[in-house]
Amino acid sequence: MEEPSLTARRAIFTGYLFHSLYIVVELGDGEFFRIPFLSIRLLKWSEEFFELFFLASYLLAFVLIHMSHSNDKKRVKGVKSRLNTLTFWSARGRGSNRCVES
């Protein structure tokens, strides 16, 4: 399997960053520990924001990886069809398509 593009890797890393922040904020709203100097309301809004961002980043990475693989398949398919066309025309030039008189 090929390595993802630089943009896709950056989207994955960004998603991982926001995912980590989401987990810290979710656990830090009083369930397991309390993040000091921040209100509960701000923590709840931050939790939603980080969740939205990590999901969007992962989706972007998935789309970029999928599009790069589909473009590679189209390129390979195009090369194969051109090779088949060249093979067909070169075979015709060698006399393989002669008419046989009876």
pLDDT per residue as tens digits for the range 35-92: 888 888 999 999 999 999 999 999 999 999 998 877 666 665 555 555 555 555 555 5
Res 36: pLDDT: 86
Instruction: Please give the pLDDT value at position 68.
Output: 83
pLDDT value at residue 70: 73
Give the model's pLDDT for residue 72.
65
Q: Is the pTM of this model over 0.85?
A: no
38 phi-psi bin (left φ>0, alpha ψ -120 to 50, beta other): beta
Whether 9 has a pLDDT exceeding 60, the answer reads yes
The burial of 4, by beta-carbon neighbours within 10 Å (0-12 exposed, 13-18 middle, 19 or more buried), is given as middle
**pLDDT the model gives residue 49:** 96
pLDDT at site 3: 83
